[in-house]
A and B are shown apart, each in its own frame.
Chain A
């Protein structure tokens, strides 16, 4: 159980690191938001599920309840975060943020 929890948390931290790299290095708003959205949904859910498993390491009914609450947070994040990313992207599209293109290519 502890090993699985550790694996999930380390995987989540890896995806967070990749997402931060993307936010820093990508050229424009939409691609940066793409990287940030991956962080928010995939990496955060991995870390939260890892914490839920870690909490179950010494098994008892009260710990099971706490783990269930943590998993409920994971489900909520999994619905809310992509929706938030979608809303921000659409707002950017409406006010006309131009996507990045290579300068020498025709649009």
Chain B
């Protein structure tokens, strides 16, 4: 027991080959699954919020298994902030575009006036566009919540 504890204490906290290898193996599939949940949201259970949470969780997993700096290398703070705002912009932009074209807020059938595909087709496409926006926003907010809470806002050491 003592021997094992000393061997663990010797290496820096969180440096574990088994966990790191498994995480490296899993993260691409987690992100693929997140995209699948977003894209398939209007046919099956799921949608923008759930897929965004899965995508954000993949970055949180990276930060937990490696450290905060590694996850910042894959998704910098600036890109993250831009993505969060772009997601909200896609959502409200689609809604406001519908309102400007003569429908209600988020009434996608009004988009028929841009490109006549029929109101049914536009409702399906409109939900898809809005869900992509929600997914991007949720992903970036999840990631930045973890970064800020995990490192006290310093974006330096963290867990």
Q: Compute how far the CA of A96 lies from the CA of B9 in the bound complex, rounded to whole angstroms.
A: 11
Cβ contacts under 8 Å, A86 to chain B: 16, 18-19
For B6-41 the 0/1 string (1 means CB < 8 A from A) is 001100010010110011011001000000000000
Cβ contacts under 8 Å, A87 to chain B: 16, 19
Chain B CB within 8 A of A24 CB: no
Cβ contacts under 8 Å, A96 to chain B: 5
Cβ contacts under 8 Å, A80 to chain B: 22, 26
Instruction: Report the contact-size class of chain B (Cβ under 8 Å from the partner).
Output: 10 to 19
Cβ contacts under 8 Å, B29 to chain A: 76
Q: How far is the CB of A66 from chain B (nearest CB, A)?
A: 11
Main SS of chain B's interface residues?
helix
Main SS of chain A's interface residues?
helix
Q: How far is the CB of A79 from chain B (nearest CB, A)?
A: 6
Total contacts A-B at CB 8 Å: 29
Q: Compute how far the CA of A71 lies from the CA of B18 in the bound complex, rounded to whole angstroms.
A: 23
Q: How far is the CB of B19 from chain A (nearest CB, A)?
A: 5
Chain A CB within 8 A of B1 CB: yes
Known: A79-B26, A83-B19, A87-B16. 18 other contacts (CB 8 A): A79-B22, A79-B25, A80-B22, A80-B26, A86-B16, A86-B18, A86-B19, A87-B19, A90-B8, A90-B16, A93-B4, A93-B5, A93-B8, A94-B5, A94-B8, A96-B5, A98-B1, A107-B1
Chain B residues in contact with chain A, CB under 8 A?
1, 4-5, 8-9, 13, 16, 18-19, 22-23, 25-26, 29
